[in-house]
Structure 1
Amino acid sequence: MNYELDHIGIAVRSIEEALSFYLEVLKGTLEDRYTSDAPGVEVHVAVVRTNGQTIELLEPTNRNSPIARFIRQKGKGVHHVAYRVDNLEQAILEARDKGIRFLEDTLRTNARGRRLIYINPASTEGTLFELCSYPQE
């Protein structure tokens, strides 16, 4: 299985306030903006690319969203690191065979067609990792 860094998700209180740093200082390009109102997601997303690398700025849409809870508990900052895999189902099976646990309720297809699941941070020394694939490609 190939694992390639896909993006880093960063929790912010306000995308509008955060964007100037990524666009003006880091010279990034705003590639996409969307909102996911799916239960258990509830987030505004801004996708910024800088020199071929992708950052997703994540702003909660309500005070009970996972990103709002993250900001309350840990503050703003890196929420997760995402790795693209060739085949999500196979990657999940291979990881499970090695004792890795997943946050099962996070398995989904996002608003842009990306299939994803989060690894339980208990399996990664506390860091939240996303595995994702792009079936439409």
Structure 2
Amino acid sequence: MFDLDQEVAKAHQSVTEIESQARAIEARIKKIDGADNLLPKRAYGKSIDTAAIARSLTLRSLLAKNDPQLASYLGVGTDAHIRAEEEKEARRLRAQALGMKTEKIRAQNQAAALHRERASLAGVSPLTGRRLGQ
């Protein structure tokens, strides 16, 4: 048997859940500087229009940069934050390799300077190994 009160209660519950979810998403988007004015308009009880967010390049970019998890949830995410992390790690590794290379060259230069100094004190040419003055 059809119970109108139950159907109305279910519909109201459904609309309330959708509205609370949409408000939570909007609140999270509004935390991003400059994104609150870019939110698409929506009616009460309607979910966030992800297609409108996807069409807004500025909002989509702000979401991807500042909240990549929410951007993925809304289906507008990019891998820009992943690429940025990879580039940062690559720069760190290059700097570390350069530091190691610099240290190796410094040690070689120090050894060569020590060799020249000892050869000079011994009266031997560091280039030929012969005694000076012969």
Could you state the TM-score of these two structures normalised by the residue count of structure 2? 0.23
Q: Rg: which structure is higher? A: 2
Higher strand share: 1
Greater RCO structure (CA 8 Å; 6+ sep): 1
